[in-house]
Amino acid sequence: MTKYPFIPVNIPLLDGNEKKYLNECIDTGWISSEGKFVNQFEDQFANRLGRNYAIAVTSGTAALDVAIEALLIGPGDEVILPAFTIISCINQVIRSGATPVLVDSDPLTWNMNLQQVEEKITEHTKAILVVHIFGLPVDIDPILELAQKKNIKIIEDAAEMLGQTYNEKPCGSFGDISTFSFYPNKLVTTGEGGMIVTNDKQLADDCRSLRNLCFQPKKRFVHERLGWNYRMTNIQAALGLAQLERLDEFVQRNLAERAGTTDEMIWLLDKYASPVGRSGLYATRKDYLRLGIVIANDWKSDTCIGKYLRDVEKNKISKGSGGGFYGGFFHFDRNASMKGHGGQRIIIDWNSGSVLALNAKTDDYDFKNNFESISPE
């Protein structure tokens, strides 16, 4: 069996302004949940996503707890969510007395099966909890359309999506309420931490109250609602602010590491340049493809891959570009931007010799007739 190098989800980089901001916290004495860095982190995070409000909390799990409670989800309500996700997504649904309704995963993307989402909507459906898996956005437009028609709230779990986009918009900008995690395996980390974002002022106010034990401004120790102590500390926020400043850099580093910058890391191929198994590609804006997609002979094809190849200047696709020719694959040059082709989903099944171009069509395309040589050099 071929052994591949271990690929960590993410390795934190802490060589920016982290020490500077942390030292400022220590020097000023503002180390708990009060201090300027909490506000700055929230404001800059909201701006980054184009959201009106951001509420910093202690973890991604805490963010989900607060989001579900803020939407007043409770007994008699149903929440649709994927079966393949962390338990944090279902915890507060169960605690609230609501009924979780699970949908299976799409076998090609591992994200929630959109057809099952529609099939499982009932008159009791209060919310759909959309969870983007492993940096791959859910095809969320059809879900948003469904939710609008049925007056269903969208909770968007974007814990693994900071810096990713869907149809030119930041992931985390689609839900009535959206959540993020800053655990160390995420692109931006605060050690432990999370964020809630929304455009709804009432939801934002409720989330701030819920993270702070529901203390009231005028009657501090009169509690009309139960909340949590989920306040992010100023020290955590200082770390997060320094990390957020470098998000674009982190995204590009992550893409480079996974796009095959070394011979043994070429996507879709083993180290002997032989096609293996079923492989998938999902490309959005600013993804630069150094991994191989074979060039379609039919440039006028209406498939996603055909559209992309037709629209991209051919001189940006060259044999041997960026690392050589592998098994009939061409490498797209780094200048071949995916802008305008966000959401291309391409699945190559080497075992059956077919290509699935999922966005435009669901047909199987005969590999040998539609594509150039697949034999390794």
Q: Which two tokens stand for residue 137?
A: 């956005």
pLDDT at 136 (0 to 100) = 85
Q: Are strands 169-170 and 278-283 parallel, antiparallel or unpaired?
A: unpaired
Q: Which residues contact 144 (CB under 8 A, 6 or more apart)?
A: 154, 174
* Closest CA relative to residue 195, chosen from 223, 157, 246: 157
The residue whose two tokens read 């995916």 is 338
The token pair at 92 is: 């507060």
Look up residue 341 and give its two tokens. 């082709």
Assign a CATH topology to domain 18-251. Aspartate Aminotransferase; domain 2 (3.40.640)
Tens of pLDDT, residues 124-169: 999 999 999 988 899 999 999 999 999 999 999 999 999 998 888 9
Report the predicted TM-score, pTM, of the whole model to 2 decimal places: 0.71
How many helices (H) does the chain have, and how many strands (E)? 11, 15
- Sequence ranges of the chain with CATH classification 3.40.640.10: 18-251
Supply the pLDDT for residue 135.
Answer: 83
Contact 164, 118 (CB under 8 A): no
- List the beta bridge partners of residue 354: 349, 366
Q: Which two tokens stand for residue 312?
A: 């991209």
pLDDT digits (tens, 9 = 90+) for 31-72: 999 889 999 999 999 999 999 999 999 999 999 999 999 999
Q: What is the dihedral of CA 203, 206, 208, 210, to 10 degrees?
A: -130
Looking at residue 258, its pLDDT comes to: 53
**pLDDT < 70 positions in the chain:** 1-7, 254-377
Query: Helix 234-244 vs helix 36-49: angle between axes, to the nearest 10 degrees?
Result: 40
CA diameter of the chain: 76
pLDDT at residue number 253: 72
Catalytic residues: 186
Q: What is the pLDDT of residue 108?
A: 77
- How many Cβ atoms are within 10 Å of 105's Cβ, its own excluded? 16
CA dist., res. 289 & res. 116, Å (int): 32
